[in-house]
């Protein structure tokens, strides 16, 4: 099977970044894709002007692209931050201010998955206090997602690139997923299974897939080493996606890789054009 029979989407915060934000949906569509995902696009503010939200909505609709995943405000990303929701003070406040804005925008474009990055450990702050704050904020986010019929995603990152991020294994992220679901009773918190991050952590990927597919709400891929397109590293991504399919995963597979020195549109040779449009 390999890459056939998958529902791929393009992450417009790591691919097509050579273009302004509002031109990226059309570029993805021109490359043959009908579905896209985004990190929170307004790094400086959790509450952009409505005109900016409207302009992005129009760009997505004009291109005929469906937004299938959106990050809540996550601080400086790309940059030093890895989320805001467990960071006491101003960053936590910004995350809370963003919850209804992000959920409202997602609802306006039919996006059904919201990703909440946990945030880095802070010097001089008790990790237990950060975890308590994180759970409070994740409960608020899960309830907001539920109100629009969406899931809340919890992502494990990799320790080499995110040494201060506490969720650097599949079990660590799953533990938070379970805590949020226990606190809300909604069951809409899910695992974001990123094969690149988990491979960077040295995790047994077939075992992770076998154990956690049932709790997985979204998948992202990039090859390793290098975080490039499939085929640029050593990961058997086609085989791993087959395992996910066999384990019952039917959701989206986000292309969250770096195009390298070439234009993003040239980084998709590994995926025949007929397989790019989401079925």
CA distances 94 to 8, 88, 97, 157, 205, Å, are 31, 10, 5, 22, 35
Q: What is the CA radius of gyration of the chain?
A: 17
Q: Which of 61, 256, 266, 269 is catalytic?
A: 256
- How would DSSP label each residue in 186-202? ---EEEEEEHHHHHHTT
Catalytic, 269? Answer no
Q: 115 with 155: CB under 8 angstroms?
A: yes
Q: Please give the C-alpha separations between residue 148 and each of 100, 101, 104, 136, 263, in angstroms, as whole numbers.
A: 10, 12, 8, 19, 36
Q: Which of 37, 91, 155, 203 is the catalytic position?
A: 155
DSSP run (H or E) holding 165: none
Based on the residue annotation, tell me whether 155 is a catalytic residue of this protein: yes
CA 5 – CA 139 distance, rounded (Å): 34
Positions marked active-site: 155, 256
């Amino acid at each position: 099977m390999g890459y056939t029979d998958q529902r791929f989407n393009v992450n417009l915060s790591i691919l097509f970044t050579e273009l302004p934000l509002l031109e990226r949906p059309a570029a993805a569509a021109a490359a043959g894709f009908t579905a896209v995902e985004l990190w929170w696009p307004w790094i400086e503010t959790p509450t952009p002007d409505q005109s900016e939200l409207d302009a992005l909505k129009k760009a997505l609709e004009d291109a005929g692209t469906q937004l299938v995943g959106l990050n809540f405000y996550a601080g400086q990303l790309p940059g030093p931050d890895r989320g805001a929701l467990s960071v006491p003070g101003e960053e936590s406040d910004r995350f809370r201010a963003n919850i209804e804005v992000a959920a409202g925008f997602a609802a306006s474009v039919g996006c059904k998955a919201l990703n909440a990055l946990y945030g880095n450990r802070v010097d001089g702050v008790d990790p237990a206090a950060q975890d308590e704050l994180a759970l409070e904020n994740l409960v608020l986010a899960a309830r907001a997602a539920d109100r629009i019929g969406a899931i809340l995603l919890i992502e494990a990152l990799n320790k080499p690139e995110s040494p201060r991020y506490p969720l650097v294994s599949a079990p660590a992220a799953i533990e938070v997923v379970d805590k949020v679901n226990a606190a809300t009773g909604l069951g809409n918190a899910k695992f974001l299974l990123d094969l690149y991050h988990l491979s960077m952590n040295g995790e047994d990927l077939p075992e992770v897939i076998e154990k956690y597919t049932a709790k997985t709400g979204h998948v992202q891929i990039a090859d390793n080493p290098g975080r490039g397109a499939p085929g640029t590293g050593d990961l058997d991504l086609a085989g791993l996606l087959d395992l996910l399919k066999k384990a019952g995963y039917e959701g989206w597979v986000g292309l969250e890789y770096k195009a390298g020195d070439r234009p993003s549109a040239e980084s998709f040779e590994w995926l025949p054009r007929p397989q790019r449009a989401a079925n």
